[in-house]
Structure 1
Amino acid sequence: MAINVKQITTDITLELDEEVISMADFQKATDNFLGLVKELSRQVTGNKADSGEWSVKVYSGSAAVGVMPSAQNLNSDRVREIMVSGIRSLANGVRPGEFSDKAVEYAKSLASLFKKSKVEPNVRIWSKQEESVHVVRKVATEADNLLAPAYEEQGAVDGILERVDAHGKMQFVIYDVIDERAVKCEVTESQLQQALGNFKKRVEVIGTVRFRKDGMPVSIKASRIVNFPDKAEIPTLAQMRALLAGEAST
């Protein structure tokens, strides 16, 4: 059921104007909407966003969920602006500068709701009562194009090794230490054993890297995994000075 625009009291509101909404679709919509709010907040504040900076409101009488900023949230207007303009840009095949990979994925999921419906679903995001953007299915199509690998070459990626998976294709995921961008790594069984020994540690993976059109790595077929030394194995500044002093005296 559509929301009465005059009753909107939240800064950013997700509206699901459908007659019948399954529990799975409603949960998926809510999770991805709130995830998008949190991720854009993180991008705007430089990774300093706190989920406590937003309060959530569920509207009675309609399938709508909204968020409003807490008193200490000084970036809510900016988040609201880039969410609405960003969804429009994605529908036109243009990646918004503030949209990380996670943000694009969240938007894609919102545009993929109600897959069984043969008509365009009525999913909207409202900026207060001022304007709304229709999250059309084309957003999901363009998001796929933006995130899809376009070419491959030999190279290397590094990050924190997480999410080891041996179900079907053997792989793990590493996350960039700066922006937490995920890269899937395809490995052999022996390499998977090495990966397990380096779980939650930083590694460099060398092999055939698949890149997106913008040059960002998407995945890699590993030929070698290089372990980064643990912090305990790295000499302190005092130890390095002592080593250098010893070399100088010989």
Structure 2
Amino acid sequence: MALIPSTVENVVKGIRTISRHAQRPPYFSDVALEETKALANLASISLKNGANPTALNRRVAEHIEELIGPKITNVGTVVGKLEGLTIHGRKVFFVYEQLTNRRVRCFFPDSMLPNALAGFGGRIAVYGTIRSRATGEKLSVDVEEIESYPPDSALPTAEDVRGILNDGN
């Protein structure tokens, strides 16, 4: 309870800083910035902590985009587990990368909905235009192709493949 006033003060100060220029405020992680951007894109909101209201608006979202927005665009593949899907508005599913377990947003056209549903909950590879941060962290993919992999239970075991390369001796 004792931290609530200082937390509120830091949030409002941080948003005020971002509204002036694209500068990361103290205590604002990438996740906090992304959530602030999402809120700023919903509507123009005014936060008040004391006498001066602080606008949470499109300018805040634009400055956040400068701070954490995509820096690199290339064509490639993301492999992982498809664990989220929404068809409200722009169609998107979420792949949790196999190596990093980070979420990557995958935007897809209507025609790929059956493939996305077929891969739901399983391991897939998506091919398309990937947007990444300068650090290499993948942020999103404009999906051109989806390939579903079989579940582990459908793969052959070591015993199944024993001797497959045996030369007959």
Residue in structure 2 matched with residue 149 of structure 1 by the alignment: 70
User: Which one-letter code corresponds to 1:202 in the other structure?
Assistant: R
2:149 to 200, 205, 228: 228
Residue in structure 2 matched with residue 116 of structure 1 by the alignment: 46
Residue in structure 1 matched with residue 136 of structure 2 by the alignment: 215
Q: Verify: 1:168 aligned to 2:89, yes or no.
A: yes
Q: Verify: 1:185 aligned to 2:115, yes or no.
A: no
Please state whether the residue corresponding to 1:242 is helix, strand or coil. coil
After TM superposition, the structure 1 = structure 2 runs for residues 1-250 of structure 1, keeping only pairs within 5 Å, are 8=2, 13-15=3-5, 16=8, 90-91=24-25, 103-106=29-32, 109=35, 115-117=45-47, 119=52, 144-244=65-165, 247-249=166-168
Cα displacement (A) at 1:239:
1.5
Task: For structure 2, list consecutive stretches of 5 or more residues without a partner in the other structure.
Answer: 12-22, 55-59
- TM-score of the superposed pair, with normalisation by structure 1: 0.47
Cα displacement (A) at 1:116:
0.7
- For residues 90-140 of structure 1, give each alpha carbon's deviation from its aligned partner in whole angstroms, at most 9, with x where no partner exists: 427xxx9xx9xxx52136647979x4137377xxxxxxxxxxxxxxxxx98
Could you say if the C-alpha distance between residues 169 and 229 of structure 1 is closer, same or farther in structure 2, counting changes exceeding 3 Å? same
User: Which one-letter code corresponds to 1:183 in the other structure?
Assistant: V
User: Which one-letter code corresponds to 2:155 in the other structure?
Assistant: I
**Would the aligned equivalents of 2:46 and 2:53 in 1 still touch at CA under 8 Å?**
no
Alpha-carbon distance in 1 for matches of 2:129, 2:34:
27
Cα displacement (A) at 1:180:
2.7
User: Which one-letter code corresponds to 1:229 in the other structure?
Assistant: P
- For residues 63-96 of structure 1, give each alpha carbon's deviation from its aligned partner in whole angstroms, at most 9, with x where no partner exists: xxxxxxxxxxxxxxxxxxxxxxxxxx9427xxx9
Alpha-carbon distance in 2 for matches of 1:108, 1:184:
13
Could you say if the C-alpha distance between residues 159 and 14 of structure 1 is closer, same or farther in structure 2, counting changes exceeding 3 Å? farther
Task: For structure 1, list consecutive stretches of 5 or more residues without a partner in the other structure.
Answer: 18-28, 30-88, 122-138
Could you say if the C-alpha distance between residues 171 and 140 of structure 1 is closer, same or farther in structure 2, counting changes exceeding 3 Å? closer
RMSD: 3.5
